[in-house]
């Protein structure tokens, strides 16, 4: 059973500067509720009972938010429930997503765990829940997938597909970060929901810096695939909202308010 989730929150948020020089983008309200609470609700509904936040000293405001008791009573009850299930680990130097994940190595108890990237909101249908159910059947790693326009593949991580399992799921042969439009192996892009094996920590321990001098989680995933660990791509049914840029944040807020 997958009971633990990790949420990397220690990035710099450069696309939302100057706001992110004084504030955590994950606390920006969407229809009155901080973005990260949508992610927590997705976890709770998917049966997760412990969430590990990877923050940094610069993003302590996130911890403060959950530990601030000066609230009206209903709001307080809700936050108390979240607070009970959240643990914090620190990544004070943003060396990349792989390094952020590595910081949780002593906290993960089971063979698999869920990871959610908070910039990627998926509404209307719980993507984590659907992925956990596939994992239960196939006992392997699962990553979220979404078809993107062919002309935009160079902005995404793109799957090289192996055989289809059914209409929403396929085995992954490889993942290529931001491929050339001409040579991209598909237009199925990686979205920020992952069910990863605990053994990824052994790979991350030795992982060298990749593109842009960062330690990428995708590089560790590629190593696992090469070592014949099964990975499934799940084409989710919910609606994807990108909250990593100001334009995306505004669009997503309007979309959530409508739904
Ligand atoms: P991104 O690479 O999208 O970076 O990280 P970012 O900092 O959020 O935003 P930009 O690109 O600079 O505008 C994907 C996720 O991984 C986390 C981020 O907080 C984000 O949730 N992350 C990234 C870390 O926790 N640590 C890192 O070293 C890098």
Counted domains in the chain: 1
Whether 54 has a pLDDT exceeding 80, the answer reads yes
CATH number of the domain residue 138 falls in: 3.90.550.10
Alpha carbon distances (Å) from 174 to 22, 146, 225, 235:
38, 16, 7, 16
Sign of CA dihedral 122, 128, 130, 135: positive
Distance of CA 11 from the midpoint of ligand 1 (Å): 4
Residue of 20, 28, 97, 217 to test ligand 1 pocket, by largest number of atoms within 8 Å of CB: 97
Assess contact for 110 and 3: CB atoms under 8 A. Answer: yes
| Pocket lining: 52 vs ligand 1, CB cutoff 6 Å | no
Distance of CA 124 from the midpoint of ligand 1 (Å): 25
Specify the DSSP element, H or E, that contains 82.
helix 73-85
pLDDT at position 18: 94
Whether 185 has a pLDDT exceeding 90, the answer reads yes
Distance of CA 167 from the midpoint of ligand 1 (Å): 31
Where in the sequence is the domain holding 166, given as residue range(s)? 4-258
> pLDDT tens digit string along 186-219?
999 999 999 999 999 999 999 999 989 999 999 9
Query: What's the pLDDT band for 71 if we cut at 50, 70, 90?
Result: confident
Please, what is the average pLDDT of the chain?
Answer: 96
Question: Between β-strands 33-34 and 112-116, what pairing exists: parallel, antiparallel or unpaired?
Answer: unpaired
Contacts of 46 (CB under 8 A, 6+ apart): 2, 114, 126, 128, 129, 132
- The pLDDT > 90 percentage for the chain reads 94
| Pocket lining: 233 vs ligand 1, CB cutoff 6 Å | no
Query: What's the pLDDT band for 72 if we cut at 50, 70, 90?
Result: confident
Atom of ligand 1 nearest to the CA of 93: 28
End-to-end CA distance of the chain: give it in Å, rounded: 31
């Amino acid at each position: 059973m997958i009971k633990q989730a990790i949420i990397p929150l220690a990035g710099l948020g450069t696309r939302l500067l100057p706001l992110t020089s004084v504030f955590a983008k994950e606390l920006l309200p969407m229809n009155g509720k901080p973005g990260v609470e949508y992610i927590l609700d997705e976890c709770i509904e998917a049966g997760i009972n412990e969430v590990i936040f990877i923050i940094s000293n610069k993003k302590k405001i996130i911890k403060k938010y959950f530990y601030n008791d000066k609230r009206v009573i209903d709001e307080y009850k809700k936050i108390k429930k979240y607070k009970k299930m959240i643990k914090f680990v620190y990544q004070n130097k943003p060396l990349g997503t792989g390094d952020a994940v590595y910081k949780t190595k002593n906290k993960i108890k089971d063979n698999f765990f869920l990871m959610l990237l908070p910039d990627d909101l998926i509404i209307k249908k719980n993507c984590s829940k659907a992925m956990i159910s596939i994992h239960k059947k196939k006992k392997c790693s699962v990553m979220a997938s979404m078809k993107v326009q062919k002309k935009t593949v160079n902005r995404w991580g793109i799957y090289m597909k192996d055989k289809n399992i059914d209409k929403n799921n396929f085995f992954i042969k490889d993942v290529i970060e931001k491929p050339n439009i001409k040579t991209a192996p598909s237009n199925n892009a990686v979205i920020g929901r992952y069910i990863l094996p605990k053994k990824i920590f052994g790979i991350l321990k030795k992982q060298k810096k990749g593109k842009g001098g960062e330690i990428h989680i995708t590089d560790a995933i590629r190593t696992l695939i090469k070592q014949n660990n099964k990975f499934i791509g799940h084409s989710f049914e919910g609606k994807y909202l990108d909250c990593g840029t100001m334009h995306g944040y505004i669009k997503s807020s309007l979309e959530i308010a409508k739904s």
